[in-house]
Structure 1
Amino acid sequence: MEDEQSRQSRQPGQRLQKVLAQAGVASRRQVEKLILDGRVTVNGLTVTVLGTKVCSDDQIWVDGNSVQMFEGLCHYLLNKPVGVISSARDPQGRTTVVDLMKDIPARVYPVGRLDYETSGLLIMTNDGELSHRLMHPSFGVDKTYRVWVKGPVEIEALEQLRRGVVLEDGKTAPARVVLRSGLAKGNLSKEKGKGLEVIEITIHEGKNRQVRRMFGAVGYPVLQLERIAYGPLTLDERIPAGKYRSLTREEVKRLRLLVGLN
């Protein structure tokens, strides 16, 4: 008589650990441990066999919580490093954010862009509708950046950023601006790092190189720029530059609710 693992491996559908990882429950390795620990049920039955196949109409629960399956959709948080292009390909042959994620099973794309010299939080997904809404200005999704400039920064410059700055393509919307004293001075050279100020700014628009242009307009060229938040997501500093993690099921749900998707 064939064993349970052999029988399951011949069933149609996708492997349970892949489905759970794509749904944002946890990383593939963490999901495998959840299954082996008996914390996952399918249609009311506890599953402890890796490789178990499930279909889209199966009811999957983890620790008593229903898993909302987004069939074939993947959502990741990437810590983009400086010197990487935020696109699927680059005619000049430079490294792209897609190149950093070649080891995942699906083809994912960046939600918006961070320029070549900007680092930080970038959402990577193949969820086209979610991506479109997160980028569309009508939804006004907040994005927060940490900015390094040569100080001291005048109060009037901060107030001007808060009120909105006139750029060549129009005036920016009011921004939230906070001066962060005592933060690390980034990875700038010793010479450039002298007398720096660190400012956090939150905007909801998506003009090209907007933050850099705003600070330049008030007389403080940006020396270093990092995105630290996008909507409800914050940069996980445990993820080194160039690495990524799957979004959790709850994070995906919060993003979708933010832009009116169930």
Structure 2
Amino acid sequence: MRLDKFICDSIGLTRSQAGKAIRQGLVTLNDKKVKQAALQVIDNDVVCLDGAQLQLIGLRYFMLHKPDGYVCSTDDPDHPTVFMLLDEPLLDRLHTVGRLDLDTTGLVLITDDGQWSHRISSPKHHVAKTYRAWTADPIPASAVQQFADGVMLRNEKNLTLPAELKIIGECEALLTIQEGRYHQVKRMFAAIGNKVVQLHREKIGGVQLPDDLAVGEYRELSAEQLHLLQIK
């Protein structure tokens, strides 16, 4: 890898900024001052910028407990974004795996691995997502079979895929869906004449939102959790 690219990938400088630092004599390679941006950096080489050793940042995988009122985008003129909750370098390289609505809370996956996020969010892979929904009106027992059979959403041409509904309380249920249509959970309840007043995502694939991950906090996915999210 070129020296200037190594610096860019380590701390997020632009190629021109990295080149300028090299020309100014601020960069050492294996304790020797260098001024050639095209020098190759190989395994075990030590690169320092202004005396601080640099290390490449590998692919990153996080889970976040999204609060109400935050958007899952990198920039929004009207609302705070989930990326404001992260204390990570090279934030501009991270993205959410799918999105939650502004008023929906719960589990959000964040990564800079585009292929991984595509496999999880792609409709053809049918990765299960479980939501806890609170509704304005009581949920009838018949809704369990209705959701299992699939419901027709407004302005759609096909029924939803079979979904698993577990009624927890009169106006509370767990719903597991295999796809991710626009506002799907809210629209499914609307299709049976009810309204979701609060929505919380608890699980993606085999990964559950931990009880000890407070609202607004995040952490790296463990090796076990990454294994649970392997999609071929």
TM-score by length of 1: 0.64
Once the two structures are superposed, what CA deviation does each residue of 1:205-243 show, in whole Å capped at 9, x if it has no partner? 110000000001101100110000001110112111111
Once the two structures are superposed, what CA deviation does each residue of 1:169-189 show, in whole Å capped at 9, x if it has no partner? 2310110111114xxxxxxxx
Find 1:158's aligned residue among 122, 144, 147: 144
Find 1:232's aligned residue among 184, 197, 206: 206
Listed as ranges, the matches of 1:6-155 within 5 Å are: 72-90=58-76, 92-101=77-86, 103-107=87-91, 108-155=94-141
**One-letter amino acid of the counterpart of residue 100, structure 1:** L
**One-letter amino acid of the counterpart of residue 88, structure 2:** I
Change (3 A) 1:160 1:89: same
Listed as ranges, the matches of 1:178-193 within 5 Å are: 178-181=166-169
Alpha carbons 1:110, 1:125 under 8 Å: kept: yes
Q: Could you say what secondary structure the match of 2:180 adopts? A: coil
Gaps of 5+ in 2: 1-5, 7-40, 45-55
**One-letter amino acid of the counterpart of residue 211, structure 1:** V
Listed as ranges, the matches of 1:192-211 within 5 Å are: 197-211=171-185
TM-score by length of 2: 0.72
Structure 1 runs (4+) greater than 3 angstroms displaced: 55-58
Residue 66 of structure 1: aligned partner:
none
Question: What RMSD over aligned residues (CA atoms) do the two structures have, in Å?
Answer: 2.4
Gaps of 5+ in 1: 1-12, 14-54, 59-69, 182-195
Change (3 A) 1:71 1:153: same
Residue 223 of structure 2: aligned partner:
249
Percent of aligned pairs with the same amino acid: 38
Change (3 A) 1:218 1:248: same
Once the two structures are superposed, what CA deviation does each residue of 1:52-88 show, in whole Å capped at 9, x if it has no partner? xxx9968xxxxxxxxxxx9611111000011000111
Alpha carbons 2:61, 2:110 under 8 Å: kept: yes
Q: Could you say what secondary structure the match of 1:154 adopts? A: coil
CA distance in 1, matches of 2:175, 2:136: 16
Structure 1 stretch displaced more, 156-165 or 80-89: 156-165
Give the length in aligned residue pairs: 180
**One-letter amino acid of the counterpart of residue 240, structure 1:** A
Q: Could you say what secondary structure the match of 1:240 adopts? A: coil
